[in-house]
Amino acid sequence: MTMNMLRWSVLSLAGFVLCGITGCTRWIDIQPTSADPKETISHSLPNDERVPLVTNSFHLSRNGASQYPSADLERRILSSVQDTSLFSALIPLGEKSDSLGEKVVSARITVDETIEPHSWLSAFKGIIIGGSMFLLSPFIDLEYGYGATVALELERWDGHVTRYEGRSSGTVHYKLFGATPIMIDELKGHVTEACLTDLMGQLVRDTKLYMASSAPLPDTGIRTVTVKAKRPATTHPTRSLVPVTTP
């Protein structure tokens, strides 16, 4: 009797441990950014051909609602731009951009996030798991979806505007006990990195557009007019009166 109880205790403990380990598992699926990825072409630019890039605006939205942009996200985007070695300097939003010269590239950054937590489905599955005393947790999958679109609009010093856009999405699959904030951060990190990789590939392929010699400076519209001085009016000399004496 004692041996049977011990055996069942060991089996029960092993079952609980197995359920706990399996119930904490998670994995991430990332959708490819492009069905036909193009080869990235890199160029090495001399210093005199590189111009500074200034961030003029940064907009962030989540599920269509405007959000306060994160400084960390801006730094991550600018860090990816810096890795391309296309620009002489990168000026974040709000920093002074004086004394940069006449040829400057202006950047407008837009990030649109889409979050699909599947909360109703998770709650329904949670009720089932709770009713079964969490024994079914290793066999029920929960999901959290995240997608992002990162757009970079660059305006050259002569007014030429080019828009680049990178999209990616992914889903994290997890068991009941695998739901943690770290899981969501990992998913967002993978999706954002996929977007930036696609975006920088597009930018590097347009390297020649942002070389200092690619376009002249725009005409300021001020023309120089030469005005000739007027000649002074000719004045006739007045005759002096010479007194005449008579003998």
Report pLDDT for 120.
42
| φ and ψ of 35, to 5 deg | -75, -25
Count of other CB atoms within 10 angstroms of residue 21: 12
CB 140 within 8 A of CB 129: yes
Q: What integer pLDDT is reported at residue 99 of this predicted model?
A: 76
State pTM to two decimals: 0.68
What percent helix, strand, coil does the chain show, rounded to 5?
35, 25, 40
Positive or negative CA dihedral for 36, 42, 43, 45? Answer: positive
- Pair type for strands 105-116 and 142-155: antiparallel
Write b or e for each residue in 140-161: b if 16 or more Cβ atoms lie within 10 A of its Cβ, otherwise e.
Answer: eebebbbbbbbbbbbbbbeeee
More confident position, 121 or 77: 77
Given a cut of 90, whether residue 215 has pLDDT beyond it is: no
In this prediction, residue 173 carries a pLDDT of 76
pLDDT average, residue stretch 204-213: 92
Question: Which tens digits make up the pLDDT trace of 142-160?
Answer: 778 899 999 999 999 999 9
Q: Which residue has the tokens 């939205």?
A: 61
CB-CB contact of 164 with 204 (8 Å)? no
Summarised one tens digit per residue, pLDDT across range 69-102 is: 888 999 999 999 999 999 999 999 988 877 788 8
Q: Return the higher-pLDDT residue of 6 and 204.
A: 204
Q: What is the pLDDT of residues 67-77, one digit of tens each?
A: 998 889 999 99
Q: What is the DSSP letter of 153?
A: E
For position 92, what pLDDT does the model report? Answer: 92
> Which among 100, 76, 37 is positioned nearest to 191, based on CA atoms?
76
Calculate Rg over the CA atoms of the chain.
35
Q: How far apart are CA 139 and CA 62, in angstroms?
A: 32
CA 225 to chain centre: 47
- What is the pLDDT at residue 176? 58
Domains delineated in the chain: 29-210 (3.30.160)
